[in-house]
Amino acid sequence: MQGQRILLIVGGGIAAYKACELIRLLRKAGASVRCVLTAGGAHFVTPMTLAALSENPVYTSLWDLKDETEMGHIQLSREADLVVVCPATADLMAKMAAGIADDLATTLLLATDKRVLAVPAMNVRMWLHEATRRNVKRLRDDGVEVIEPDEGEMACGEYGPGRLPEPEAVVAAIRKILPGTGSGTAGEAGGGGAGTHALPAAPPRAFGARSPSPKGEDLSGRHLLITAGPTHEPIDPVRVIANRSSGKQGFAIAEALAELGARVTLVAGPVALPTPVGVHRVDVETAEQMQAAVDAALPADAAVLVAAVADWRVDPAASKLKKADGPPQLAWRENPDILAGLARSHLRPKLLIGFAAETGNVVEIAREKRLRKGCDWILANDVSGEVMGGDLNSIHLITAEGVEHWAEAPKADVARRLARRIADALA
Ligand code: CTP
């Protein structure tokens, strides 16, 4: 990031303190930072702190004549290589979306011809509010990069999405945007001086001049729900009914969707797989727990139910069944059909996708299953070979329009192909 110039707008919120660490990391990576502090932001961090960390003057007012003679606000907004708003409050993003310019920060944001990255932080209800959803969508349509907030416990005591991402994640997002600074760029250690400003390798894309993403390549702002892996249905405290699902295909799909910018909730049965980067994982064991986790994750724009859910459960014995008592009589009960239930739900995702693992007559059975379960697409595969637990999969995609046969490919490739199809369908 050597020589890159960041204009950092610090909005008002408890997360403003993380802006201090962000400045430190950016300077360590070789960037120079100029800060603009909003009136709200000044309640949480002082201009003195930001000035000391950035080793640059801090700008707070549109009406400061001294600042205006030294550097006009238009110049300030144009001299940067990237404008970063961190934390971006609900109020600040609403003003940005509406084009309001009633203080220095919002005036700069309207005057800039540079890329803008907004890092939101707010209460979970504010983040999920229709008005904020609308504003985020409008900003993204306008070409502003709005990264997803973290999910977790908030300063206000509530839980959910809205926490400011860690400064390291913000630096990673900045690297993705600034030309020539992607992760792995050599020669970035240390430094910290503003020095000479290296010219970016390619002109940055300006706010308001977003090149339209190719159809089907962008899932930002979408919530995708995935189920994956087997379920385990307990028989007694030590035994379960299980199946051979490895979870690999579902995890690969979650990863591919996150790569296209979606917010992904992955409800995972018992599997020993790492959580894909950027994916929110909810671990469950039984079909009933999976059902509850799916319900809690709604609403979603699309859902892909890959899990091999046990169709049956038994009422588990309270203590270990003993061999001496002879073969147990298990009283079977039917588990909820999560896919069929979701298809009937008033929160049915716009695009609902199921899987069908069959051992013969694959396409015929899957066609019938699509209609019976009420989903839009079924991905059918023949699991009589090595598919379960293996790394390859060959898929028949069954939709209302017909059947597509996908050649055998690694599960990661199948996942990426499906993710692009989903993005296309939701575009
Ligand atoms: N599924 C589900 N809940 C269940 C069973 C299945 O959500 N209790 C979903 C799976 O995740 C998959 C699809 O339904 O997306 C098809 O699963 P499958 O086991 O093939 O369907 P079944 O209804 O169990 O049919 P079969 O009699 O062939 O086992």
| The pLDDT value given to residue 68 | 62
For ligand 1, mutation pick of 249, 339, 381 (most atoms within 8 Å of CB): 339
Residues paired with 85 in a beta bridge: 9, 118
pLDDT in tens, 355-365: 999 988 999 99
Q: Which domain holds residue 35?
A: 5-177
| The pLDDT value given to residue 156 | 72
- The answer to whether position 196 is within a domain reads no
- Judge if 242 and 133 occupy the same domain: no
The residue ranges of the chain whose pLDDT is under 70 are: 65-71, 179-217, 387
> How many angstroms does the Cα of residue 220 sit away from the middle of ligand 1?
29
- Judge if 171 and 254 occupy the same domain: no
Q: What is the CATH number of the domain that holds 411?
A: 3.40.50.10300
Q: Which of 177, 210, 234 is the last residue of a domain?
A: 177
Tell me the H-state helices in 142-187: 167-177
Phi, psi of 5 (to 5 degrees): -110, 120
- Judge if 128 and 236 occupy the same domain: no
For ligand 1, mutation pick of 245, 309, 398 (most atoms within 8 Å of CB): 309
| The pLDDT value given to residue 216 | 41
Task: Find out whether the beta carbon of 307 lies less than 6 Å from any atom of ligand 1.
Answer: yes
Task: Find out whether the beta carbon of 135 lies less than 6 Å from any atom of ligand 1.
Answer: no
- The answer to whether position 204 is within a domain reads no
User: Coil, strand, or helix at residue 224?
Assistant: strand
Q: What is the CATH number of the domain that holds 56?
A: 3.40.50.1950
Tell me the H-state helices in 245-309: 248-259, 287-297
217-250: burial string, b at 16+ Cβ within 10 Å, e else: ebbbbbbbbbbbbbbbbbbeeeebbebebbbbbb
Phi, psi of 256 (to 5 degrees): -65, -35
- Judge if 111 and 229 occupy the same domain: no
User: Coil, strand, or helix at residue 83?
Assistant: strand
- Judge if 271 and 147 occupy the same domain: no
113 contact partners, CB below 8 Å, separation of at least 6: 77, 78, 206, 207
- The answer to whether position 191 is within a domain reads no
- Judge if 284 and 368 occupy the same domain: yes
The residue with tokens 């069944």 is 321
> How many angstroms does the Cα of residue 311 sit away from the middle of ligand 1?
7
Segment (H or E) for 263: strand 263-268
- Judge if 255 and 343 occupy the same domain: yes
Residue 364 CB-density burial (10 A; 0-12 exposed, 13-18 middle, 19+ buried): exposed
- Judge if 143 and 275 occupy the same domain: no
> How many angstroms does the Cα of residue 61 sit away from the middle of ligand 1?
60
Tell me the H-state helices in 228-361: 248-259, 287-297, 338-344
- Judge if 298 and 173 occupy the same domain: no
> How many angstroms does the Cα of residue 178 sit away from the middle of ligand 1?
45
- Judge if 143 and 283 occupy the same domain: no
- Judge if 233 and 103 occupy the same domain: no
pLDDT in tens, 224-270: 999 999 999 999 999 999 999 999 999 999 999 999 999 999 999 99
Which residues are marked as active site?
Answer: 156
Q: Kind of pairing, strands 115-120 and 145-146?
A: parallel
Q: Which of 153, 177, 201 is the last residue of a domain?
A: 177
- The answer to whether position 184 is within a domain reads no
Number of structural domains in the chain:
2
The answer to whether residues 41 and 121 touch, using CB atoms and an 8 Å cutoff, is no
The residue with tokens 């995609």 is 397
- The answer to whether position 350 is within a domain reads yes
Q: Which of 177, 195, 214 is the last residue of a domain?
A: 177
DSSP states along 85-107: EEEE-HHHHHHHHHT---SHHHH
- The answer to whether position 198 is within a domain reads no
- The answer to whether position 71 is within a domain reads yes
- Judge if 111 and 244 occupy the same domain: no
- The answer to whether position 206 is within a domain reads no
pTM across the whole model: 0.56
